Structure 1
Amino acid sequence: MKKSGSHIRFAGLVLVSLGAYFLLGYALERSQTGWVLATFGLLFVQYILMLRSSWDTTIKLQWGIAAAVIFRLLFLFSVPELSDDIFRFIWDGNLFVNGINPFAHTPSALKESASLSIVSDHLYQQLNSPDYYSVYPPVCQYIFGFSAWIFGGELLGNVVTIRLFVIGVELGTIWLLKKLLKYYGLNSSYLLIYALNPLIIVELSGNLHFEAVMIFFLVLSLYFFVIHQKLWALISFVIAVNVKLIPLLLVPYLLFSLSRKQALWLTGVLGGGTILLHMPFLDPSFFQNFGDSLGLYFQTFEFNASLYYVIRWVGMQVVGYNIIQFAGPTLAAVSTALIFGISWKLRDRSLKNIPLVFLITLTAYYLFSTTVHPWYISSLLVFMPLTGMLYPVAWSVVIPLSYVTYATADYTENLWLVAVEYLLLAVVIGLDYYRTEKKAKPRLQWLMQEKE
């Protein structure tokens, strides 16, 4: 009877969550921030209750994985409303399959030249950055191109194709995470911390952010490293880097940890693989255009930052204007130095420290960044079950507060909410690192309400 009651309670939590995910996928727009935040809040309540359900671990894992798959599939025919990046995916894909280099032309330049008839005016109007060159690395472009090859500029067809790919790699990540938890001597049920996290489900399978693809290849790389298949590990790592550049943060740790011969292999495979993947896009303007786009990230874009906003305020008091063009690159340089220091201190021949190093270095990078969108921290959450650090989960709970920005037509941030987000995060980080003598297992057991 007790077991039956656990099933019923868990099923009830799943049904309530399905209703909330349906609202985010099919009913709400990001400008409806009150409803968006309330729905996220409800989802996180259900999430914590599901994690802390008291019943047989094996059955809990089976039901949890089934729920994680159902939640993702619910979004299958949903056009993302909380993000408009999908329109740039379709734009880039259509350029690629029609022989136009998406890194060589801005959408606005193509529009003004009146030479573009392969993409509709309606799609152009939906682009959020028509004056910027594409910033999506080649692996993304191949996926965009495959989808466009099948469906052209048709919105729903592209959405479903890309989402099936994203859900596929998400399920692959969950499968790999189960194997890695066993390797690290942790309970397989801890993968539910990632698999059922509402931010992960909404931002990756729902809003189609390609962190999902990067995470899969990064976790695959770690898996190959721990089973001593270093060549496959390096190949997977190269693919991850060419989906999103974030895994480059691990390069100093790998160089410090590997033997000289292996470090040379890493450098050669990373360099050669990156050039090979970029071959269809290389032209004289590629490096300048891509560099300009990255420069905009550090010197122009501002969103949901922490340390940078404090420095920006001080700069306004001292010089009377926004000092982002100086502060952005300076903070990036400081975080780079910090990342090298962390990587050197935690270097390890066995490479078992990869999850912890990536967690710490990526956290440092984001705390020094000028822009931190909600989906960015998905990369922290995937390694959280392997480290026992609780702050990525806490951050996933509070970072949806940044959606309040979209309540206004000019996207004005509420800096009080930003302060609340980072103050709460600082408290949990402090608790995590204050109790460093505690290993991963006790903290994970507390979150999952499990006993030895």
Structure 2
Amino acid sequence: MLLNPTFLKLNKAPLLLALASLVFYWAFAYNLVRTDYIKLITLYVALFVLFYNITKHLKHNSKALTYLAFAFRAIFILAIPNLSQDFYRFIWDGRMILEGFNPYLYTVTSFINNGELPVAQAQELHEGMGALNASHYTNYPPINQLCFAIAALFANKSIMGAVITMRLLIVLADFGTLYFGKRLLEKLKIPSYNIFWYILNPFIIIELTGNLHFEGVMIFFLIWSLYLLYLGKWQWAAVVLALSVSVKLIPLLFLPLFFQWFVNRNVTTIVNRENLSAQKKEVTLLVTPYKNRKHGFVKLMVFYTLTIVTTLLLFAPFYTTEFIHNYSNTVALWFQNFEFNASIYYIAREIGYWFRGYNEIAIIGKIIPVVVICVTLIITFYRKNNTMVELITAMLFVLSFYYFTTTTVHPWYVATLLILSVFTKYKFPLVWSCVIILSYLAYVNLNKADKSENLWIIALEYLIVYGMFFWEVCIKKAPRTLEA
């Protein structure tokens, strides 16, 4: 039925685009080595151009876009990730749990150096994850660990089996994001096809489904939580937000931003449900937020308590004094030891070189969290954040500032910015999802002995991103939503 001549004639362009995408995704999944930089960039750019045109052609056919999203992900089902080694550590942690070990208390190296092989394929997993990952304690929160344990449960002696299991979990999360994301967009009177700028984006398909990064699971819980919050089910929203935090810690950064939603809430949606007259609406809007401020503050405190207590309960099975020490030190490493694909931090680092002659990451790394917290509080109290779109926009700004200033920005981090942007008027995360591929070229140097990042490539990436950011925020009067 779908392949009748009339259908083919009317949909010739999108069908050709989809077929080309299938071929390029297959080449990316099964016929690409990370160090083949020309092929990497060519395939990625081609896929991005195809994605943009497919989304424009079929933006009013969500069923077709959904089928394509599934088909593109299905191509990766038997592929071993080729741009990241992290999945080897995921498999190790999951198998450790299944063997009765607390994964937060041991490094991989501590076993290997003693000649111990606590899990199946231990030596292969150790070699695959690399020395850096193996020498540090795990930093993945408990719901993330649960995903690893599920993979171990279904494939305790097969790396490929574990990869397939984790991939299916991430794909399920993506379609959960599609489900709740579309409904939230509809509630907000924003075109529901905006969600496909996330779901169909080759960056999301490659980094999450392909390379097995669990930002997709964190994002699923985050969008579900925001949807519940919009419906007024704020207690459940708090619990689901805790699940998001328990996959990746990033949503903790958003907690202060809920202040105005509860305390200075604009009650337009409540008034509309009551079908009051226009005149009474206006009076209610002027009076209700101030009348209910105290009640809203109490609800805010309960919301925070539910989120924090649920998060702590999820961590509780792993709790020991050693766990607190190991986990806090591992998280601190991201601020004080690791450097990758940064922007403002690299400028501060160069200034440190000029004045002191050495890298001051230990000092700058301690300052960055303080500055991010201060900016978050400023946006919390001095920016209007009491509607859902304003709240999500505030989240986008806070997280963008954090990534602009932090010491490490791995490509998959941008996924959270991208999903937030589909509910706003800003497109710079979409642009970033395209140019982030340049970060994989960071270690391309003319001098092969030089293992440092190529700052010219990093500069090109951020020149494009900051250019788009400042154009949208400071110059352009952008339309209300992210549309083609």
> TM-score normalised to the size of structure 2?
0.87
Distance 2:14 2:390 in 1: 35
**Larger relative contact order (CA 8 Å, sep ≥ 6):** 1
Distance 1:323 1:277 in 2: 36
Q: Deviations over 1:412-449 (max 9, x none)?
A: 321101101111111111121135644424xx34x2xx
Shift of 1:138: 0.4
Correspondence for 2:279: none
**Does structure 1 residue 315 correspond to structure 2 residue 316?**
no
Shift of 1:339: 1.4
Shift of 1:348: 3.9
Correspondence for 2:272: none
- In 2 relative to 1, CA 188–318 (structure 1 residues): closer, same or farther, beyond 3 Å? same
Distance 1:281 1:411 in 2: 37
Q: In structure 2, what residue type is equivalent to 1:392?
A: P
Q: In structure 2, what residue type is equivalent to 1:152?
A: N
Shift of 1:3: 7.1
Q: Deviations over 1:128-182 (max 9, x none)?
A: 3111000100001111111112211410000000111100010110111111111
Correspondence for 2:63: 62
- In 2 relative to 1, CA 247–347 (structure 1 residues): closer, same or farther, beyond 3 Å? farther
Distance 2:406 2:331 in 1: 13
Correspondence for 2:282: none
**Does structure 1 residue 433 correspond to structure 2 residue 473?**
yes
- In 2 relative to 1, CA 180–351 (structure 1 residues): closer, same or farther, beyond 3 Å? closer
Task: Write out aligned runs for 1:177-216 (5 A).
Answer: 177-216=181-220
Correspondence for 2:232: 228
Higher mean C-alpha displacement, 94-103 vs 402-411: 402-411
Correspondence for 1:126: 128
Distance 1:373 1:410 in 2: 21
**Does structure 1 residue 368 correspond to structure 2 residue 370?**
no
**Does structure 1 residue 281 correspond to structure 2 residue 285?**
no
Distance 1:318 1:51 in 2: 50
Distance 2:480 2:24 in 1: 31
Q: In structure 2, what residue type is equivalent to 1:182?
A: E
Shift of 1:346: 3.2
Distance 2:431 2:112 in 1: 44
- In 2 relative to 1, CA 409–396 (structure 1 residues): closer, same or farther, beyond 3 Å? farther
- Paired residues of 1:226 and 1:352 also in contact (CA < 8 A): no
Task: Write out aligned runs for 1:246-325 (5 A).
Answer: 246-258=250-262, 259-325=296-362
Correspondence for 2:104: 103
Shift of 1:353: 2.4
Q: Deviations over 1:178-231 (max 9, x none)?
A: 111111111122222111111011001111101000000000000001111111
Correspondence for 2:171: 167
- Paired residues of 2:385 and 2:394 also in contact (CA < 8 A): no
- Of residues 239, 242, 245, the one that matches 1:241 is 245
Correspondence for 1:423: 463
Say which SS state the counterpart of residue 313 (structure 2) adopts. Answer: helix
Distance 1:58 1:175 in 2: 16
Distance 1:69 1:285 in 2: 42
Distance 2:316 2:376 in 1: 30
Answer with 1 or 2: which has the greater Rg: 2
Q: In structure 1, what residue type is equivalent to 2:87?
A: I
- Of residues 136, 139, 146, the one that matches 1:135 is 139
- Paired residues of 1:214 and 1:240 also in contact (CA < 8 A): yes
Distance 1:411 1:76 in 2: 33
- In 2 relative to 1, CA 131–106 (structure 1 residues): closer, same or farther, beyond 3 Å? same
- In 2 relative to 1, CA 416–286 (structure 1 residues): closer, same or farther, beyond 3 Å? same
- Paired residues of 1:31 and 1:406 also in contact (CA < 8 A): no
Say which SS state the counterpart of residue 212 (structure 2) adopts. Answer: coil
Correspondence for 1:396: 433
Say which SS state the counterpart of residue 220 (structure 1) adopts. Answer: helix
Q: In structure 1, what residue type is equivalent to 2:123?
A: D
Say which SS state the counterpart of residue 222 (structure 2) adopts. Answer: helix
Say which SS state the counterpart of residue 321 (structure 2) adopts. Answer: coil
> TM-score normalised to the size of structure 1?
0.93
**Does structure 1 residue 156 correspond to structure 2 residue 160?**
yes
Higher mean C-alpha displacement, 251-260 vs 111-120: 111-120
- Paired residues of 1:253 and 1:347 also in contact (CA < 8 A): no
Distance 1:102 1:168 in 2: 25
Shift of 1:352: 4.2
Shift of 1:350: 4.5
Distance 1:237 1:329 in 2: 27
- Paired residues of 2:442 and 2:455 also in contact (CA < 8 A): no
- Paired residues of 1:366 and 1:372 also in contact (CA < 8 A): yes
Q: Deviations over 1:83-134 (max 9, x none)?
A: 1111000000011111111111111112223343324211111123111000
- Paired residues of 1:105 and 1:133 also in contact (CA < 8 A): yes
Give identity over the alignment, percent: 33
Q: In structure 1, what residue type is equivalent to 2:75?
A: L
Shift of 1:351: 4.2
Correspondence for 1:27: 31
Say which SS state the counterpart of residue 362 (structure 2) adopts. Answer: helix
Distance 1:32 1:333 in 2: 40
Correspondence for 2:293: none
Q: Deviations over 1:357-393 (max 9, x none)?
A: 1111110000011000111000011121210201011
- Paired residues of 2:32 and 2:39 also in contact (CA < 8 A): yes
- In 2 relative to 1, CA 143–388 (structure 1 residues): closer, same or farther, beyond 3 Å? same
- In 2 relative to 1, CA 227–212 (structure 1 residues): closer, same or farther, beyond 3 Å? same
Higher mean C-alpha displacement, 126-135 vs 346-355: 346-355
Q: In structure 2, what residue type is equivalent to 1:319?
A: R
Shift of 1:2: 9.4
Q: Deviations over 1:282-335 (max 9, x none)?
A: 111011101110111001100000000111111111111111111122122112
Higher mean C-alpha displacement, 210-219 vs 353-362: 353-362
Query: Structure 1 stretches of 5 or more lacking a match?
Result: 448-452
Say which SS state the counterpart of residue 129 (structure 2) adopts. Answer: coil
Correspondence for 2:454: 414
- Paired residues of 1:211 and 1:244 also in contact (CA < 8 A): yes
